[in-house]
A = this chain, B = another copy of it.
Amino acid sequence: MNKSRVLRPAPDLPAEEAQAARFEKARLAQSTAVLEDYAELISDLIASEGEARPTDIARRLGVSHATAIKSIARLKREGLATSKLYRGVFLTPNGETLARRVRTRHRLVVDLLLAVGVPQGAAEADAEGIEHHVSDETLRAFAEFLDRK
C-alpha cells in the first residue's frame, strides 16, 4: 500500500526525526512562553510600582483579569510565584531567576533586531514572540555579533 514509504531511501529517516525534534522543541518553548511573560511582567511591576496586582498584569497583557488569575495559579503550581487571597503576587527565587533570564534575553533580541536594521516598533513587537524561541546557543551568537559591531 505504502509505495512512497518503500521508495524513500534510508537517509531520509534521520532527517525526519530531526525535523520532528525541531517541532517538538518549538512546542515546548511555546508551553513555557506564558510563564516567562508573566514572570518578567511581575518582576517589572514590582520594580516600578512596588507591587504586582492581577488587574495590572491583565491590563498590561491585554487579557481579562480572570485569565490573568488563572495563569498566576499555574505560576504558583510550577513554583514560580506566590500570593495570598486578595493580596499581590510575588516571585519565588526560581521565579526571579526566570524573570532575570527572560529580561536579559528580551533585550538582546531587541538589540539584535535593531542592529540588523529592523525599525524600532517592529523590533519591539516581534521580539515579544521571537524571544521565547531563542536558544542559549543562539543568544550567545547574538551577543557576540553585537560585540563585534
Contacts and interface: CB of A to CB of B under 8 A. Distances in A.
A78 interface: no
A56 B7 CA distance: 14
* Chain copies in the assembled complex: 2
A138 B112 contact: no
Interface string A26-53: 1001100100010000000000011101
Contacts of A93: none
A16 B61 CA distance: 9
Interface string A98-122: 0000000000000011001111001
Contacts of A118: 137-138, 141-142
A141 B119 CA distance: 8
SS class of chain A's interface: helix, strand, loop or mixed?
helix
Interface of A: 4, 8, 16, 19-26, 29-30, 33, 37, 49-51, 53, 56, 59-63, 112-113, 116-119, 122-126, 128-130, 132-135, 137-138, 141-142, 144-145
